[in-house]
Amino acid sequence: QKEAQAYQELVTQQNEGAGKTLLLIESNVKVQNSLRERLKGLGYRVLITSNPVRGLARFSDLDPAEELPAHCVLFGSAGLGREALKAFEEFAHGEFTRELPAILFVMDKLERHVNPNLINSHRMQLKIPIKFKHVQRGLRKLLNIEKPVAAVTDANKDSTPNPDEGSNSVDPDVQFD
């Protein structure tokens, strides 16, 4: 029974992003690959570009009848530095994007350059180094996704695996310098 519950939780977690598309704007290939694999494992469709201008262009002049290119945009400053901050700010002020969810991954040295007025109920920042559980929780919050809950009895509560615990940084080999 424990195995069945753990399997059901895993299946539920793997489908948590089903039907949702994310756009990652980041030039660091290791970060791109690490995030793509982890997010795909949750069921998200992940689009990637290393060019912030090209990423933002996907949202310009949208016809209201068109489907959005992505449900949430992830801006990475690991490879892009200040370009990511500039793109995040432009996204926050854009006619077609100001209400869309976005996450900015920001390094310590750039954190003071982030406009705090841009962080609100549908835009957040996460500090690098990133733990994947924080990315996952942020996406759940911004996209209004319920956390998968497995039916756990008191007898096996302590032995049920919890995906939000443990070491789960994006990739131990990825350096965010």
Question: Is it the case that residue 82 has pLDDT exceeding 60?
Answer: yes
Q: What pLDDT was estimated at residue 6? A: 59
Give CA 81 to chain center in angstroms.
18
Question: Is it the case that residue 133 has pLDDT exceeding 80?
Answer: yes
Taking the C-alpha atoms of residue 19 and residue 21, their distance in angstroms, rounded to an integer, is 7
Question: Is it the case that residue 59 has pLDDT exceeding 50?
Answer: yes
Question: Is it the case that residue 94 has pLDDT exceeding 60?
Answer: yes
Which whole number is the average pLDDT over 18-25?
96
Q: What pLDDT was estimated at residue 12? A: 54
Which whole number is the average pLDDT over 131-136?
94
Binning pLDDT at 50, 70 and 90, where does residue 63 land? confident
Which whole number is the average pLDDT over 112-124?
92
Q: What pLDDT was estimated at residue 50? A: 97
Binning pLDDT at 50, 70 and 90, where does residue 174 land? very low
Q: How many CB atoms lie within 10 A of CB 4?
A: 10
Q: How many CB atoms lie within 10 A of CB 24?
A: 23
User: 65 versus 148: which is more confidently predicted?
Assistant: 65
Beta strands at 72-76 and 102-106: parallel, antiparallel or unpaired: parallel
Which whole number is the average pLDDT over 115-137?
93
Which whole number is the average pLDDT over 165-173?
44
pTM above 0.85? Answer: no
Beta strands at 21-25 and 45-49: parallel, antiparallel or unpaired: parallel
In DSSP terms, 25 is beta-bridged to: 49, 75
